[in-house]
Amino acid sequence: MTRRLLLPLLAAFLASACCRSLDRLVDPHLLVLRSARTYEHAASHEVTIERYEWHDAARNRDVPVTIYVPHGEGRWPVAVFSHGIGEDRDSYAYLGRALAERGYLAVHVTHAGTDKAMLKKGYRFLYRATKDKQNWVNRPRDVSFVLDQLRERKDVDLSRVAAVGHSAGAFTVLALAGMRMTDGSLQDDRVKVGVAISMPKMEGVVPPGGYDGIAIPVLHMTGTCDTSLIYRTFPRDRRVPFEQTHATHQYLVTLEHVSHDTFSNVDDPHHAEIAQLVVAFLDAQLLGKDDARRWFDEGGVRVERK
């Protein structure tokens, strides 16, 4: 077996040994007690997939997107998805399709420099790319550029925009939501709601008080096995943005036996649950649906809440 294949397999094996007990992770003072309440939002739209290669002349940068478009009339709320390291616009298709089926225009962005094309060069090149500050700055700027492009569409409602992302994509979401870095802020006021899945450890990047600028509702999500040994991030580290954000309408869901790769795998039995959580949160906080709000606020899901 080549070293290129051995290293990720070894990392995956060691990560599986780093699972944490759910009861030891959650804060019982913030935990909403479970009830029998359910939330069902059945898929009701067929979906068309569109692909574009947009160019940001100001940065001389290509920004490819895949858009999951619901069939029907009207102007759709928008969910822009930011991928993790080594993924691209075609990753997390299960989530893009689930959102579109439920009436959201889901736009998946490729962030050049930390995408699958860089991964194909080898893990060493990808790891080096994560150390380039400009690659992190470009991520929220890519999303802001995409929102600019969407102004040309007649089927979107840009007063209802959510940002969703996994791993490095969670950084993208929180940066757009108002998280301050050592060099300032990349907040985009068009983003009204965020879903930050598996935020990496950002020591030295997010200063003390860096989460104070977040004022929009955010669903934070992680798993009891959500470990990235290469980046020295463990399940408890994923809690930091939720714990340090002082805004209201902050929620944290920790899924049992879920690892970092669960969210980005092509197929996984947890995908339906993950998609339901994301859709329900956007229905609650972006669309203001009362049944979705109650599902989070009254214990329909095991959640910590501020």
| CATH number of the domain to which 80 belongs | 3.40.50.1820
Report field, pTM of the whole predicted structure over 0.85 = yes
What is the gyration radius of the CA atoms in the chain, in angstroms? 18
Give the structural domain span for 115: 3-305
Residues composing the chain: 306
Per-residue pLDDT of the chain (306 residues; tens, 9 = 90+): 444 444 454 444 444 557 989 989 999 999 998 777 788 887 899 999 999 999 999 999 999 999 999 999 989 999 999 999 999 999 999 999 999 999 999 999 999 999 999 999 998 999 899 999 999 999 999 999 999 999 999 999 999 999 999 999 999 999 999 999 988 999 999 999 999 999 999 888 899 999 999 999 999 999 999 999 877 899 999 999 999 999 999 999 999 999 999 999 999 999 999 999 999 999 999 999 999 999 989 888 999 999
- Tally of structural domains, the chain: 1
Sheet arrangement for strand 61-70: 47-56, 61-70, 105-109, 76-82, 156-166, 193-197, 218-225, 250-259, 304-305
| b/e map 95-116, b = 16+ CB within 10 Å | bbbbbbbbbbbbbbbbbbbbbb
Count of CB atoms within 10 A of residue 214's CB? Answer: 25
Note whether 104 and 278 are within 8 A (CB): no
CA 275 vs CA 1, 60, 152, 173: distances in Å = 36, 34, 28, 17
